[in-house]
Amino acid sequence: MTAPRAMTVAGIMSGTSADGIDVALARITPSTLNPKIKLLAHYATPYPSALRKAVLAAMDAPRISTAELARLNWRLGLAYAEAMRSALSAHPVKLDLIGCHGQTVYHQAVPSTYAGRRFACTWQLGEPALIASEIGVSVVSNFRPADMATGGQGAPLVPLLDYVLFAHQKRARILQNIGGIGNLTIIPAGASQNQVIAFDTGPGNMVIDALMTRLFDKRYDPSGRTAVQGRVLEKVLATSLHNPYFSRRPPRTAGREQFGAAFARDFLQACRKAGGSSHDAVTTVTALTADSIVLAWRRFAQPQVGRAPVDFIVSGGGSRNLTMMRMLRDRLEPCGCNVITSDRAGLPSQSKEAVAFALLAWQTWHHLPGNIPAATGASRPAILGEIIYA
């Protein structure tokens, strides 16, 4: 086993929104209890339109050729290497290690039967050997399978970072990331790592982005400017919140399999049937994300935190949607939550998940577990990922 040492690590993340690549450069230093993390720089770049189209097609494809998947795997590897090279050009550092989550194209967290056997499975694309070769730095990738092999759902994997950065002796911390999917981490005041609970709340920006693309030919709703112009279609919202996913107890995980193209199509049809405008549809789906988060708080988080003061810390692209943030404050502040973004808590919101995979890569390099079993449902802590040596 390698004794933990200080390293400069890059984390590369592209989420279920498939809008682009985030690179975080971090200095990670061992400490008595938890490693210390200093964010050095963050770099973001959008996917080229042809690559984003290919990624989205692969995610929602009922059928796709092996040739297409192989090409996409290597094309994503090139894109990650290019993003890494650009990040280092903009922020020169001597890099020791890279952690790359890859692009999830399929995630089946609940076991089902295939070819006579019952199992769960996951698949992330983005050839790590290309990154290692292009950058000349070893790469840790494919983080989910080791957790799933021990009975976990392979997600969420950000809670280790949440605990390391935000655990507090006197304040409860709720960490809500709003990427393509929303995920929430509950850290009661004074909690140990095995008391952390985390799970996916449901759709984050994914369905909003799908409706924005279809109705307004935009990738997303900048600052929530479209949502603020409409009204919430209450009956459509109430029906959507009866989706069985929202009442499922943690651990649980979601993706395009639950809230992808089919869900977005049916949601839009319901909005049109209710007589709503295009703006109303975007307002209502923004409220769906906000209300599903609040529902998760009330059902599963609030009972865990007791009477401790609560910081509800929001990160991810959704934290820049001012309409969504207003909805969250309107719903959560009367419950005693101090709703802020992770920028105010010391970590730029868009960089958080990329920093998480830098930390997970550091853990793997030192033969340390990266999952939190209470969050994923795994039977034990597991060392995550596979290493490609440069």
Amino acid identity of residue 337, one-letter, is: C
pLDDT of residue 33: 84
With vertex at residue 125, the alpha carbon angle to CA 119 and CA 126, rounded to the nearest 5 degrees, is 150
My answer on whether omega of the bond before 348 falls inside 30° of 0, hence cis, is no
Residues in the chain: 390
For 137, the 3-state DSSP assignment is coil
| % the chain with pLDDT above 70 | 99
Burial class (CB in 10 A: 0-12, 13-18, 19+), 343: middle
- Examine domains 7-158+351-388 and 163-341 and report if their fold is the same: yes
Domain locations along the chain: 7-158+351-388, 163-341
pLDDT of residue 254: 87
pLDDT above 70 for 2? no
Side-chain half-sphere exposure of 168, counting CA atoms within 13 A: 15
Alpha-carbon span 310 to 376, nearest angstrom: 23
Amino acid identity of residue 105, one-letter, is: V
pLDDT band (50, 70, 90) for residue 1: low
pLDDT of residue 81: 98
| % the chain with pLDDT above 90 | 85
Contact 292, 201 (CB under 8 A): yes
Alpha-carbon span 110 to 121, nearest angstrom: 8
pLDDT digits over 51-98, tens only? 999 998 998 778 899 999 999 999 999 999 999 999 999 999 999 999
pLDDT of residue 318: 93
- Bridge-based pairing of strands 117-125 and 337-341 is unpaired
pLDDT above 80 for 16? no
For the domain spanning 7-158+351-388, the CATH number is 3.30.420.40
pLDDT above 80 for 17? no
The CATH fold of domain 163-341 = Nucleotidyltransferase; domain 5 (3.30.420)
Burial class (CB in 10 A: 0-12, 13-18, 19+), 45: middle
pLDDT of residue 67: 96
pLDDT above 90 for 30? yes
What mean pLDDT is predicted for residues 25-47?
Answer: 94
Q: What are the distances in angstroms from CA 220 to CA 153, 258, 269?
A: 29, 20, 19
pLDDT band (50, 70, 90) for residue 25: very high
User: pTM to 2 decimals?
Assistant: 0.91
